[in-house]
Amino acid sequence: MYNVSNDKATKISVTTFSELDYKENDIEELLRKNIDMICDEEESMLIVGKAS
């Protein structure tokens, strides 16, 4: 994977959620706040609930 900025591509090192100390609820919150990561303007996605 690469980070592209100002026509320059920089390789991003591979990491895991465990290495980032992310738990399942952290990933769910990340996706909820950034739903465009998994769908674009031509698609629609509805978040129906949040586990407590």
Task: With CA atoms as reference, report the closest residue to 12 among 20, 22, 21, 2.
Answer: 2
Q: Is residue 26 part of a domain?
A: yes
Q: Is residue 20 part of a domain?
A: yes
- One-letter-per-residue 3-state SS of the chain: CEEEECCEEEECCCCCCCCCCCCHHHHHHHHHHCHHHCCCCCCCCCCCCCCC
Alpha-carbon distance 25 to 27, whole Å?
5
Q: Is residue 10 part of a domain?
A: yes
Q: Is residue 32 part of a domain?
A: yes
- The pLDDT tens digits of the residues spanning 7-37 come to 999 999 999 999 999 999 999 899 888 888 8
Q: Is residue 16 part of a domain?
A: yes
pLDDT at 10: 96
Q: Is residue 42 part of a domain?
A: no
Q: How many domains does the chain have?
A: 1
pTM tops 0.75, yes or no: no
Q: Is residue 18 part of a domain?
A: yes
Domain around 7: 2-37
